[in-house]
Structure 1
Amino acid sequence: MDLFSNLALGFSVAISPMALLICLLGVSLGMVVGVLPGLGAITAIAMLLPVTYYLEPTHALIMLAGIYYGAAFGGSTASILLNLPGTPSSAITALDGYPLGQKGKAGVALLVAAMSSFFGGTVGVLLLATVAPALVKVALSFSSAEYFSVMLLGLIAAVTLAEGSPIKGLIAVAIGLLFGLVGADPQTGSVRYGFGIPQMFDGFSLVAVVMGLFGVAEVMANVGNDSGHRATHRISFREMLPSRAELRQTIKPILRGSAVGSAVGILPGTGVVVASFMAYALEKKISKTPERFGQGAIEGISAPEAANNACTQTTFIPTLAIGIPGDAVTAIMLSALILHGITPGPTVIASQPDMFWGLVVSFWIGNLILVIMNIPLVGIWVKLLSIPYRLMYPSIILFICIGVYSVNNSVFDIFVALGFGLLGLFMRMIGLSTAPLLLGFVLGPMMESHFRRALTLARGDLGVFFDRPVSAVFLLLCALFVVSWIISARRTKRKKANAG
């Protein structure tokens, strides 16, 4: 069957009344849990997994996938309005979305985020539908050496997210790596930095860390500020539209973000968090005015949001075609497949064409539904700015506690969120960015596993990272990043010396 025949088959499945209803239900629920701080796609999908047993496999996946990319779509709302990422992947959007909202352009920021998300999602769907087999072969050819190198590149790029000098970024990344080491050793199983506390044997919960660094820290930073977020008037649709200059500034970042997100999503085990961070780092690196980032740069919203949703779609390539989950959410979806008696792997596309292509088409339909729903709701989201802090923050803390507790049903995780909230507040006070810390925490354990696995297979020979061409290219890019930082630092030092 050619592409058009496959898409026709997908449309015949996706536009059935039941499939449309399931898709609408999934994306609506996903957008709600994405908007609400403290909740997320993992929690919603995990809770609804038993319900999917009573649905057909195709409808079950359509609903779970709708929650997934719906949460990614809606996660930017809380980031922009409250500096509280609704999902971990939208944490990077808060860096420029929140300052832009504080400048009275919350409507513009939300609309740009919605349109960027739709475009990125559409690119991801097209990529999934057109070149999935070839991309699967590329991903299968990657060994642990390539995975380590590409993650190292992402980690080095994360240093560019730091406010101020790269040294501060390195410090933040190092802190994240240290926290990522907590828990059982991936090879020996021995517990590291557990201090005899059973809840620490599995490491810190990602949800607790994110909600602490961004949510709890934001509340603590604004304690005593009773002025609240004020919306002085009802925002019309015209006020939500970006200016021509802002529109020009978003087009190329959306394209680049979609490309980065699509590429990252294909690699199993990376996920949308890595895609968002890498897209943001790329935009800041190539910008002629990098100092604008973190102060309300529109590119800091469009690029990561496009990457976020493009990655959400393409992460299904390794999940469905290889049987390797792209992230924690798709790992749960693999459980749904197994629950219905379907074995994930290369035979899924051939043996279940109606399910695969129906799911592909439902992705695009779901993204279209989200745009149609979200744009009229922008005014409602912006009205949240009028709620005083004294009323808003107790509710936010409640949602954070519920979301953090519900992941593992652990009171300990609530205290973890509180601890990371104090850390985030302290880092703000001394001028350290929390974004590189988060990426170091996410990538650290994966990098360690791939590094040790590659060395084990190569019998301890470090040359394995340079012998493989793809790995060598990534390491070369890492070296170029470091050299560019050194040159940039020297230029800055010379300018200060000449000015003095």
Structure 2
Amino acid sequence: MNDLLNSLAYMVEPMPMLYCIIGVVAGVIVGAIPGLGGGMLMALVLPATFAMDNLLAQVLLIGIYVGGVTGGLSSAVLIGVPGTPAAVMTAIDGNAMARKGFAARALSIGIMASLFGGIVSWLVLAGLSAPLARLASQLQSFDYFVFIALGLILIAFAGQESVLKSLISGALGISLALVGFDSISATNRFTFGVPSLSNGFDLLAVLIGAFAVRQMLVDSSDERPVVQQASARLPEILHELGRPFRHFGNLIRSSLIGTVIGLMPGIGANIGAIVAYSAAKGLSKNREEFGHGSEEALVASESGNNATVGGALVPMIALGIPGSGQDVLLMAALILHQIQPGPLLVSEHPEVFYGIISTYLVANIVTLFVMVLSVRYLRSVLSVPKYLLVPLVLMMCTVGVISTNNRVEDTAIMFAFGVLGLFMSWFRFPLAPFVIGFILAPLAEERLRTAAGTARGNWLELLMTPVPLAAIAILIAIGLTYLIGRKHFRTEVGRQPKKP
């Protein structure tokens, strides 16, 4: 408790607060622009964190993370286009309210619901992370490998795309992470005689390519400026800030749903919003209002999507397993400073462990003020055409990658992974399993090799311990649920009347 209080006291000092405000403001602006998102900006800023204090780097990135998720509601309400995938459900009812003349009310509900969801998930983050990390520190190497493998498989089954495509995406990320010099066998692997590949693929270049360059390539053909459809004044927004608490039960339920969804690796804020929205609609007495400007729907979607952020931070700092694509970038910032996220983080770097927890709370509070004060100015930001943003972002990506390691070949890696990400988008292969597999593969390999050395060929002895047995049971349950669900879906489709 003392460590948490000390980290909270640190966060109100001028420098950490300044970094937090800068991160939140940047995240809100980028999150409000459809097609960009906080993940892209985090990847773009990542090279700059190399020269920063490790905790201040986390403060900046978490500020962007939180601001980016919340910022998406501005464009969702004002123009009906979600700035981020997390705001998809918000756009349905939020824009419907705006078209009826209640844009300020919709924005107020979204802003306060986001804050409430963030605080609820922060309570879980603060209460669960340290005990979970201490428990995980008692695990054996093979147990930890099983956790990583189970997390990757859960990502595949929980994603919106097909399980097969998710598994292929994760396997591709793992395979590419194995390229380079193997320190144990003292040989190069999968380099095909190319000397520059002996160092492997630089983590920073891969992440910037997969997140920022890929998104710019996807958006480069879209030159349409966004047209403004609704507006809201500051006094109206302030007047309506208490309105979400008329749906207090919905706030609690949706925040808890979002937190639980966030705890599951790789699912994302958009799934948290969808599940919370569906639950609210199923339990509502006014279901017919959903989709036509329902306050309950807006409360559910915004509290649900924001709560996933705090939930996703739990496995990242406690187990070293990123809960989302943005958490991969947070982990990358720590790794750049030779800090390994996971069970030992709380004991070896308590200032970073509790600093991340404190930053998340402060970032949510800062986001409230930034959103309230910036809504009137975000309308002009939304009208910036993409063709002006794309060259600027690509230039910043190139400068950032080269300046970090002073290697021009990293630029080629960055653009190569950007093109790879573009092809993955075209063929609907999810990105999250790929980047999570890439960053976790070295750690998983290390744990597996350590376990193999202690097992001395007796793998059955390793498998017959509590953690692997529990993981096998979970996988069997997931597989059966998936197969039964597919069979039920096909049965229902088969019962539908055929078109003449």
Which moved further from structure 2: 462-471 or 474-483? 462-471
Q: Superposition pairs for residues 45-194 of structure 1, below 5 Å?
A: 45-49=49-53, 61=55, 63-76=56-69, 94-97=84-87, 116-127=117-128, 132=130, 134-185=131-182, 187-194=184-191
Per-residue deviation, 1:158: 1.3
Q: Superposition pairs for residues 365-376 of structure 1, below 5 Å?
A: 365=362, 367-376=364-373
Q: Go from structure 1 to structure 2 and tell me whether the alpha carbon gap of 1:74 and 1:47 turns closer, same or farther (over 3 Å shift).
A: farther
Contact 2:180 2:188 in 1 (8 A): yes
Question: Are 1:404 and 2:408 an aligned pair?
Answer: no
Q: What residue in structure 2 maps to residue 271 of structure 1? A: none
- TM-score of the two chains, using structure 1 as the length reference: 0.68
Secondary structure at the aligned position of 1:497 is classed as: helix
**What is the letter of the counterpart of residue 416 of structure 2?**
G
Q: Go from structure 1 to structure 2 and tell me whether the alpha carbon gap of 1:425 and 1:330 turns closer, same or farther (over 3 Å shift).
A: closer
Q: Go from structure 1 to structure 2 and tell me whether the alpha carbon gap of 1:469 and 1:364 turns closer, same or farther (over 3 Å shift).
A: same
Q: What residue in structure 2 maps to residue 27 of structure 1? A: 20
Per-residue deviation, 1:249: 6.9
Which moved further from structure 2: 357-366 or 407-416? 357-366
**What is the letter of the counterpart of residue 63 of structure 2?**
G
Q: Go from structure 1 to structure 2 and tell me whether the alpha carbon gap of 1:7 and 1:99 turns closer, same or farther (over 3 Å shift).
A: closer
Per-residue deviation, 1:165: 3.0
In 2, distance between residues paired with 1:333 and 1:247? 42
How many percent of aligned residue pairs carry the same amino acid? 22
In 2, distance between residues paired with 1:416 and 1:246? 49
**What is the letter of the counterpart of residue 21 of structure 1?**
P
Please point out which of 193, 196, 206 is paired with 1:209.
206
Per-residue deviation, 1:413: 2.6
Q: What residue in structure 1 maps to residue 229 of structure 2? A: 232
Please point out which of 472, 479, 482 is paired with 2:479.
482
Q: Go from structure 1 to structure 2 and tell me whether the alpha carbon gap of 1:430 and 1:465 turns closer, same or farther (over 3 Å shift).
A: same
Please point out which of 449, 452, 455 is paired with 2:446.
449
Which moved further from structure 2: 103-112 or 305-314? 103-112
Q: Go from structure 1 to structure 2 and tell me whether the alpha carbon gap of 1:64 and 1:443 turns closer, same or farther (over 3 Å shift).
A: closer
Q: Superposition pairs for residues 194-343 of structure 1, below 5 Å?
A: 194-236=191-233, 251-252=252-253, 254-258=255-259, 275=265, 277=267, 305-309=306-310, 312=313, 327-331=331-335
Aligned residue pairs total 435
In 1, distance between residues paired with 2:364 and 2:217? 35
Which moved further from structure 2: 25-34 or 237-246? 237-246
Question: Are 1:428 and 2:429 an aligned pair?
Answer: no
Q: Go from structure 1 to structure 2 and tell me whether the alpha carbon gap of 1:418 and 1:308 turns closer, same or farther (over 3 Å shift).
A: same
Per-residue deviation, 1:450: 1.9
Q: Go from structure 1 to structure 2 and tell me whether the alpha carbon gap of 1:358 and 1:248 turns closer, same or farther (over 3 Å shift).
A: closer
In 1, distance between residues paired with 2:91 and 2:267? 20
Per-residue deviation, 1:485: 1.5
Which moved further from structure 2: 379-388 or 36-45? 36-45
Residue by residue, what CA displacement relative to the aligned partner does 1:194-243 show, whole Å, maximum 9, x if unpaired? 23444433332344334333433333333343213333343456689898
Per-residue deviation, 1:141: 0.6
In 1, distance between residues paired with 2:407 and 2:374? 34
Secondary structure at the aligned position of 1:204 is classed as: coil
Q: What residue in structure 1 maps to residue 342 of structure 2? A: none
**What is the letter of the counterpart of residue 45 of structure 1?**
T
Q: What residue in structure 2 maps to residue 459 of structure 1? A: 456
Residue by residue, what CA displacement relative to the aligned partner does 1:371-396 show, whole Å, maximum 9, x if unpaired? 43344335544643211122122222
**What is the letter of the counterpart of residue 23 of structure 1?**
P
Per-residue deviation, 1:347: 8.7
Q: Go from structure 1 to structure 2 and tell me whether the alpha carbon gap of 1:474 and 1:169 turns closer, same or farther (over 3 Å shift).
A: same
Contact 1:173 1:436 in 2 (8 A): yes
In 2, distance between residues paired with 1:486 and 1:159? 14
Contact 1:173 1:437 in 2 (8 A): yes
In 1, distance between residues paired with 2:251 and 2:177? 34
Q: Which runs of 5+ in 1 are unaligned?
A: 50-59, 84-92, 265-273, 290-296, 320-325, 336-343
Q: Go from structure 1 to structure 2 and tell me whether the alpha carbon gap of 1:408 and 1:34 turns closer, same or farther (over 3 Å shift).
A: farther
In 2, distance between residues paired with 1:378 and 1:464? 60
- TM-score of the two chains, using structure 2 as the length reference: 0.68
Q: Which runs of 5+ in 2 are unaligned?
A: 31-39, 77-82, 96-105, 280-296, 321-329, 340-344
Question: Are 1:394 and 2:391 an aligned pair?
Answer: yes
Per-residue deviation, 1:435: 2.7
Secondary structure at the aligned position of 1:457 is classed as: helix
Contact 1:34 1:73 in 2 (8 A): yes
Which moved further from structure 2: 111-120 or 147-156? 111-120
